[in-house]
Amino acid sequence: MIQGAMPEATVNLTATGAQVGQPWIWRLAREFDLKVTIVKANVDSSSGFVQLSLDGPVEEIQRATAWLMTTGMHIDAEQRSLGV
């Protein structure tokens, strides 16, 4: 692994209904080569908001973000430092 800071993206996810009970954070950590950090969260049985920090290779951040968009959740990138 290259020394130094890895690219990072901070994303806000809003889930409603059945999306709340899905293991999407687990899938992010398991299926993509990323370090997933929960920055903030407010989740109950009917809705949820989670702010995540995704650290890893740019390609993996892009793949993960594209996958998140297929979940039907509202996704908003708050900050990106994906310098190459």
CATH superfamily of the 8-81 domain: ACT domain (3.30.70.260)
**33-81 pLDDT tens trace:** 999 999 999 999 899 999 999 999 999 999 999 999 898 889 987 655 5
In this predicted structure, what is the pLDDT of residue 2?
Answer: 45
pTM value is 0.79
Amino acid at 25: I
Domain boundaries, the chain: 8-81
- Bridge partners (DSSP) of residue 16 are 47
Q: What six digits make up the tokens of 39? A: 């920055």
Q: Tell me which residue of 65, 75, 80 sits closest to 12, measured CA to CA.
A: 75
CB 77 within 8 A of CB 9: yes
Q: What angle do CA 38, 51, 57 make, to 5 degrees?
A: 70
**22-32 pLDDT tens trace:** 899 999 999 99
Q: Tell me which residue of 31, 20, 22 sits closest to 67, measured CA to CA.
A: 31
